[in-house]
Amino acid sequence: MENDKPTTYKAAKAELEKIVNSLKQGKADVDHMVADVRRAAELLDFCRERLKSEADKIEEFKKTEQTA
Protein backbone atom coordinates (compact mmCIF):
# COMPACT_ATOMS: atom_id res chain seq x y z
CA MET A 1 0.00 0.00 0.00
CA GLU A 2 1.35 3.38 -0.95
CA ASN A 3 1.12 6.43 1.25
CA ASP A 4 1.72 8.92 -1.52
CA LYS A 5 -1.00 10.78 -3.30
CA PRO A 6 -2.01 8.80 -6.38
CA THR A 7 -1.20 10.31 -9.75
CA THR A 8 -4.24 9.00 -11.60
CA TYR A 9 -7.87 8.19 -10.93
CA LYS A 10 -7.25 4.67 -12.23
CA ALA A 11 -4.40 4.07 -9.75
CA ALA A 12 -6.45 5.43 -6.86
CA LYS A 13 -9.45 3.28 -7.79
CA ALA A 14 -7.30 0.15 -8.09
CA GLU A 15 -5.71 0.73 -4.69
CA LEU A 16 -9.10 1.47 -3.15
CA GLU A 17 -10.54 -1.75 -4.58
CA LYS A 18 -7.60 -3.69 -3.13
CA ILE A 19 -8.24 -2.19 0.32
CA VAL A 20 -11.98 -2.89 0.14
CA ASN A 21 -11.37 -6.51 -0.85
CA SER A 22 -8.89 -6.93 1.98
CA LEU A 23 -11.35 -5.49 4.50
CA LYS A 24 -14.15 -7.71 3.18
CA GLN A 25 -12.01 -10.80 3.68
CA GLY A 26 -11.38 -9.74 7.28
CA LYS A 27 -7.77 -10.88 7.22
CA ALA A 28 -6.20 -7.64 8.49
CA ASP A 29 -5.53 -7.09 12.16
CA VAL A 30 -6.97 -4.04 13.89
CA ASP A 31 -3.83 -1.92 13.49
CA HIS A 32 -3.69 -2.56 9.75
CA MET A 33 -7.44 -2.11 9.43
CA VAL A 34 -7.27 1.40 10.88
CA ALA A 35 -4.46 2.32 8.49
CA ASP A 36 -6.38 0.83 5.56
CA VAL A 37 -9.53 2.77 6.41
CA ARG A 38 -7.54 6.00 6.65
CA ARG A 39 -5.88 5.32 3.30
CA ALA A 40 -9.25 4.47 1.75
CA ALA A 41 -10.60 7.83 2.93
CA GLU A 42 -7.63 9.61 1.32
CA LEU A 43 -8.20 7.73 -1.92
CA LEU A 44 -11.91 8.53 -1.91
CA ASP A 45 -11.14 12.22 -1.46
CA PHE A 46 -8.69 12.08 -4.36
CA CYS A 47 -11.24 10.34 -6.61
CA ARG A 48 -13.99 12.80 -5.70
CA GLU A 49 -11.70 15.76 -6.38
CA ARG A 50 -10.65 14.30 -9.73
CA LEU A 51 -14.25 13.61 -10.77
CA LYS A 52 -15.32 17.11 -9.73
CA SER A 53 -12.45 18.64 -11.67
CA GLU A 54 -13.35 16.70 -14.80
CA ALA A 55 -17.04 17.54 -14.44
CA ASP A 56 -16.11 21.23 -14.17
CA LYS A 57 -14.02 20.96 -17.33
CA ILE A 58 -16.92 19.37 -19.18
CA GLU A 59 -19.31 22.10 -18.05
CA GLU A 60 -16.84 24.78 -19.14
CA PHE A 61 -16.45 23.09 -22.51
CA LYS A 62 -20.22 22.92 -22.95
CA LYS A 63 -20.53 26.64 -22.16
CA THR A 64 -17.79 27.43 -24.68
CA GLU A 65 -19.48 25.32 -27.35
CA GLN A 66 -22.88 26.95 -26.76
CA THR A 67 -21.48 30.45 -27.27
CA ALA A 68 -19.45 29.51 -30.33
20-59 residue pLDDT tens? 998 898 877 888 899 999 999 999 999 999 999 999 999 9
Return the domain boundaries, the chain: 9-67
In this prediction, residue 29 carries a pLDDT of 83
pLDDT band of 5, cuts 50, 70, 90: confident
Task: Report whether 44 contacts 20 (CB < 8 A).
Answer: no
Spacing of C-alpha 63 from chain mean position: 27
- The predicted model scores a pTM of 0.80
